[in-house]
Amino acid sequence: MAPHENIQALRPAPHVLTGDSDLTAQSAQSDPAAPAAPAFVKHGLISVMILVMAVILCLGSAPATAAEESPPAAEQAADGQPLDLDSPLYRELFRELVEEHGFSRQQLRQWFGEVTIQGRVLELMDSQWEAQPYHRYAAPLLSWWNVGNGRVLLERHAELLDRIEAEFGVEREIIVAIWGIESNYGGNKGSFRIFRTMNTIFAAYPRRSEFYRRQLIDFLLICREAGLDPLEVRGSYGGAFGQAQFIPSSYRAYAVDFDGSGRRDILHSVPDVLASIASYLGHFGWQYGRPWYAELGDKLHDPRLEEAVGAGRQGVLPREEIEAAQQVELAAVADDRPLRIVGLEQKDGEYRYLAAYPNFQAITHWNNSYRYAMAVIELAEKLRAE
């Protein structure tokens, strides 16, 4: 997936659910060491308990609340269902597009009127690939095909990559690894009509609706600027497009014109594609020549590290604390930035623990998945290997 806020979203770690954050509830427990209550308190409690039980029985047949687990999105909207263009969602979207961006209401009605809900998109949103354990997730991305083709392309575009490294300060192997994982080096840019997919998520996937409202606006602006038919642009089910698989907001913010054509073309121009990848990582703090990660072994020896694994992007600790806990020596970090603790699921059921440096963390801004970030790094390592 593209530089998006990972959609992607949502990927379990050893102690963490997708999105790199553990939102599971903590269960309350009684304290066995607490002193016994006096007899008069016990008698009062009996009356309270009877009242509480009566209330529970009354509520037993109440409708399910929002806190209860809702059915998958794909079960709540029918495939092929027309968009409700008179709903508050679309009325407000059209208002902004007309009043703030100068689109014709008639043109909007024509475009959006040709779109229906795509059930397959909702199914994929409910079960994303990044939720696979790392050993299974990474295997196809690190295939001999990906490695072999990546090495060929590193050599073919050596001069171009020299210039990109010099301007943006991002290692060529990382750039090419992302290119390979995102689109098979431009060979597979996606088959979904992304105007339909983004409308599907906007209209029928409430948790991501506001984010995709912004993507729809940016996408239509891109199409107007580049002379593209919004109904024909293809990409991923999450709305990413081009060889770099940028979502529309990322394209508008970070894509660059590196071939001098006057256009930022991530569909066809390899210079624009590779430079745009480097531009994105540079914006999020990539440091040329600095470490990507460090091994911490298959066990964590301090509760603070275990808690950090379960805290996603917030699970960071100072380098000195990690060194002391794991009895390892770690390379210095520029500006003393903290390191993230990551756990990768292995085939044998164990975990491989890492200290993720700022460069690793920069990749998670592209795709908010520690699995994705490590797959990029391992592919880059294989491309670099003799």
Strands 339-345 and 316-317, sheet pairing: antiparallel
Cα separation, 356 vs 374, in Å, equals 9
Q: How far is 292 from 276, CA to CA, in rounded Å?
A: 20
CA distance 229 to 84: 22
- Rounded average pLDDT over 354-379: 96
For residue 296, the SS3 value is: strand
- List CB contacts of 267: < 8 A, sequence separation 6 or more: 189, 241, 242, 243
Whether this prediction's pTM lies above 0.85 is answered by no
Q: Compute the mean pLDDT over every residue in the chain, rounded to the nearest whole number.
A: 84
Give dist(CA 72, CA 125) in Å, integer: 9
pLDDT in tens, 271-280: 999 999 999 9
pLDDT at 72: 64
The pLDDT of 236-241, averaged and rounded, is: 96
pLDDT at 125 over 60: yes
Helices (H), the chain: 39-59, 88-99, 105-113, 119-126, 134-138, 144-156, 158-168, 172-183, 194-204, 209-226, 248-254, 270-283, 303-309, 319-326, 358-366, 370-384
- Interstrand relation of 351-356 and 234-235 (parallel, antiparallel or unpaired): unpaired
And the tokens for 265? 């073309």
pLDDT tier at 77 (50, 70, 90 boundaries)? confident
In the chain, domain spans:
76-127+194-225, 138-191+230-283, 293-356
Residue 21: pLDDT band by 50, 70, 90 thresholds?
A: very low
pLDDT at 285 over 70: yes
Q: Is the pLDDT of residue 254 over 60?
A: yes
% of the chain residues with pLDDT over 70: 80
DSSP-derived 3-state class of residue 70: coil
% of the chain at pLDDT higher than 90 = 74
- φ/ψ bin of 367: left (φ > 0), alpha (ψ from -120 to 50), beta (otherwise): beta
Task: Give the pLDDT band of residue 48 (cuts 50, 70, 90).
Answer: very low
* Distance from the first to the final alpha carbon of the chain: 28
Q: How many residues would you count in the chain?
A: 386
Q: What are phi and psi of 314, to 5 degrees?
A: -80, -5
Signed CA dihedral, 211, 74, 87, 104: sign only: positive
Check: CB of residue 359 under 8 Å from CB of residue 173: no
The confidence score (pLDDT) of residue 262 equals 95
Confidence of residue 33 (pLDDT cuts 50, 70, 90): very low
Residues paired with 116 in a beta bridge: 82
Residue 131 pLDDT: 72
Q: What is the pLDDT of residue 132?
A: 86
Type of residue numbered 213? R
Does residue 75 surpass a pLDDT of 90? no
Q: 162 Cβ partners below 8 Å, 6+ apart?
A: none
Q: Retrieve residue 330's tokens.
A: 């770690």
pLDDT at 46: 39
DSSP 24: P
Measured torsion, CA atoms of residues 262, 268, 274, 277, in degrees rounded to the nearest 10: 90
pLDDT in the model for residue 126: 86
271 to each of 40, 155, 203, 251, how far by Cα in Å?
81, 14, 36, 15
In this prediction, residue 130 carries a pLDDT of 61
Can you give the pLDDT at residue 3? 63
Q: Residue 350: is its pLDDT beyond 90?
A: yes
| Mean pLDDT within 181-195 | 97
Sorting pLDDT into bands at 50, 70 and 90, what band is 98?
A: very high
- The pLDDT value recorded for residue 17 is 26
Residue closest to 260 by CA, chosen among 248, 247, 272, 243: 272
- Please give the full DSSP string across 242-271, using - where no structure is assigned: TTTTB-HHHHHHH----SSSSS--TTT-HH
Structure confidence by residue, pLDDT tens digits, 288-347: 999 999 999 999 999 999 999 989 888 999 999 999 999 999 999 988 899 999 999 999
Please give the angle made by the CA atoms of 373, 374 and 376, to the nearest 5 degrees.
65
Question: What average pLDDT score do residues 354-368 get?
Answer: 96
Q: 76-127+194-225: which CATH topology?
A: Helicase, Ruva Protein; domain 3 (1.10.8)
CA angle, 26 as apex, 23 and 32 as ends, to 5°? 170
CA 159 to chain centre: 32
- Report residue 137 CA to chain centroid gap: 14
Q: What is the pLDDT of residue 129?
A: 60
